Structure 1
Amino acid sequence: MSEEKEPREREAEPRAAGEPESAAEAAEAAEPAEQVGGTEEVGEAGGAEAPEEASGTGEPSSAAAVLREPVRLPSDGRTRLMAALWPPRVSRGQLVVALLLFALGLALAIQVRSTNDHSELRGARQEDLVRILDELDGKQQRLQSEKTQLEQSLAQLENSSNQAKEAQEQTRKKAAELGVLAGTERATGPGIVLTIDDPQGQVKADMLLDTLQELRAAGAEAIQINDVRVVAGTYFTDNSSGNGVRIDGKDVSQPFRFTVVGNPQDLTPALNIPGGVVRSLENHQAQATIVQQQKVLVDALATPKPLQYGKPAAK
């Protein structure tokens, strides 16, 4: 009775969870476990966590450790940058922007270069700038006057009944004007008389030349220094004795007297500008006196020299 009871009690006891009922059931349960294990390995390759093997040390398997290592890209940053930049991919909008920037840079370069061409005036003194401005105004007025005279001559030729006679008259007047410029004709008209007293003997040839250049730049039409007529080929040299100056080979001593035909309102300011001729003469202990006159006479004549090399060019 006791032996029969024991099997019944064993059957009545509940089975443990997951415990197979028999050896056949245990074998059938083992095969799905292997398949499930294979499925878990595939899941680990896709990124799932790898199960740890039931070992005594508790460390993960070697396959799981390999799968957990970070994946390294075969190319570095420089290679990716080069691949992104080359071959270039230029759109139409980028091309238009590049052309506009090129045109803007070219315009700025031209503007800077044209500005630098006049950079020598930036460092000039105020006196020099005033003198340059006066000279430009005088030249503009003279050119405008010459233009008016030429227009009047043209109108006279066109309206004259005897154009040949009118042409001869204008030719005669032109020859007289050229004779004044060449120093072969006497000249008269409004102008100034500049007298330079040099008791210390400090005035040299270069200072007289500077004075002549200032008068010419201011519009002087006829100039006479003492009894020497100034022409295009006039030259100045210092006297070997140290007293006076030689003009065109003639000895000229102080006081130096400039008789000038021209507009007195242009000639006087040109000599009196700050840092000009008068100030320079005063710095050398010389005294300059300017007298404006409504009529001055330049009566010294120059002897024309025959041309040795130059000849009129054929048209």
Structure 2
Amino acid sequence: MDQDRTPGEQPEEKPEEQPAREPGGRADDEQVAGRPEAPEPAEEPAPAGEPEPAGEPEPAGEPEPAAEGPAAELPPSDEPPVSEWVEEPSGKPAPPSDARRRLKAALWPPRISRGQLVVALLLCSLGLALAIQVRSTNDHSQLRGARQEDLVRILDELDSRQQRLQQEKSQLEQSLAQLENSSNQAKEAQEQTKKKATELGILAGTVKATGPGIVLTVDDPQGQVKADMLLDTLQELRAAGAEAIQINDVRVVASTYFTDASGGGVQIDGKNVSQPFRFTVIGNPQDLTPALNIPGGVVRTLEKQQARATITQQQKVVVDALATPTPPQYAKPAAK
């Protein structure tokens, strides 16, 4: 036949023979039986918060007849059942079941009521009381099991310790009393020293003074009052108990002196004092006034010199002029 073909003529292709298929599709069934069935995707559970819609009940029908033929006799597959698969076809792990979620929600976060908290506190208190009771019982049990000699020794030690503590208490009380006395004595001595310094300052003219007294004003329009008359007036006031004296703006102290100025007038401690002469005196007014008004005294002498003396008693007199103290040149403190 090849020889009968003319040049340029292609040989005819014979159709491939397909295997004959038996009635009932046995060949296809055998091929299907050789492949494993594809796993069905697992159904995702509905969310816990949304209830699943109730489906309509399927009508009860006749049971499906068992498959007949070669498909019913397929060999068992080695693949695990769909319910035992861990992952879905998409590769994501299956979500936890509803029971696990409900258990987790019930356990966390813990919900503690007020009653449970009160019960817990009562149980803790009861446990602490039991522990203290057991400990005290153990301590007493040690003393119960001790011998008589040990008990006597313990009592002696307690007595000795009590005596030592009592002695320490007495010593501390004595020390406290001494400190209080010394503190009080030191404070009292300090107050006495301060008071004495103030008194000496008043006498020395270095401290201001105030108190009851008199104010003596001498007017001398004729200019007949001399230094000796002012000195006599000062001596009378001192003799009557004057404690602080000030003439105009000059403080009178133990070293005060009076002189007649060359141009007229009087000088006190080197300072010119102009008229009227004003004596500010602190002392008992009931003693100072009569001492000046006695017959032949200061007031009568000033009146003879055409001068006028005026005495005013006051309950509060202020002597505010201060003297500058000068250290003694020859006097020294004597040894005891």
TM-score, normalising length from structure 1? 0.49
| Structure whose alpha-carbon radius of gyration is higher | 2
- More helix, by proportion: 1
